[in-house]
Amino acid sequence: MKPQAAPKTIAQQVYERLRDEVLTGALNPGVWIREHDIASAWSVSRTPVREAVRRLAQDGLVEASPNRGVRVTVLTAEDVDDVYEVRALLEGAAARRAAEYATAADIEYLGRLLDRIDATAASDVAAHIRADEAFHDAIVALARSATLADLTRRLAGRVARVRAATADTNTEARTRRQHRTILAALAARDADAAERAMREHIRTYRSIVTERLLHEPQGPPTR
């Protein structure tokens, strides 16, 4: 019998809610986050809001501006190119190792994660992001490398912000094919193919976001 998870602290709840709002675009890039306003609107004290914002800053989802406060990070094409090239290298290496270590039960679990992505409503952006994260995180875990896992965690916040910009593509046939190609390579224990498929998948997303940013630069909404 699994032990019950400890109840979430208020700070954790605020962090998760703010993170979802950033990733789904409810809080647009460049928008200022006012701790007082959030605390008042959500009926909490400023202390858990401050802690949540600090964690978001560590994730790279918000950034502090001297004498002005904190705002949602604005992505540039250069940021995306840099972060996703590193991600492709790290997760490509993870997929290679996972092809060597994954058991039949692991492959079955990854398949269920992809089924969850396919079954999620296209309009539920936050759920799609979480399901996609779960699939990629599981492959990193299967690599059995503490160093790879640590480096991937350090990059996670920046990756999440880019993921949000492509959440609408998670239900596309191309994305589903790429996910299944990665899974097939892992199931076949083909390390070369797994690494190649993962890198191609991530670089596809890099191209999508870079193209969008070049034509639709981010910034706070005009009023």
Would you give the DSSP letter of residue 76?
A: -
> Are residues 84 and 63 both part of a single domain?
no
Q: Is residue 126 part of a domain?
A: yes
Q: What burial class does residue 96 get, using C-beta atoms within 10 Å of its C-beta: 0-12 exposed, 13-18 middle, 19+ buried?
A: buried
Residues 91-141 have pLDDT tens digits of 999 999 999 999 999 999 999 999 998 898 888 877 888 888 999 999 999
Residues 53-95 have pLDDT tens digits of 999 998 888 988 877 889 998 878 888 899 999 999 999 999 9
> Are residues 173 and 193 both part of a single domain?
yes
> Are residues 102 and 205 both part of a single domain?
yes
Boundary of a domain, candidates 72, 94, 126: 72
> Are residues 60 and 168 both part of a single domain?
no
Q: Is residue 123 part of a domain?
A: yes
Residues 134-182 have pLDDT tens digits of 999 999 999 999 999 999 998 887 887 777 776 666 667 888 899 999 9
Range(s) of the domain holding residue 101: 77-215
> Are residues 149 and 90 both part of a single domain?
yes
Question: CB neighbours of 112 closer than 8 A, spacing ≥ 6?
Answer: none
> Are residues 115 and 20 both part of a single domain?
no
Cβ-based neighbour number of residue 190 at 10 Å: 15
> Are residues 194 and 130 both part of a single domain?
yes
Boundary of a domain, candidates 72, 92, 124: 72
Domain count, the chain: 2
> Are residues 22 and 87 both part of a single domain?
no
Cβ–Cβ under 8 Å, residues 106 and 151: no
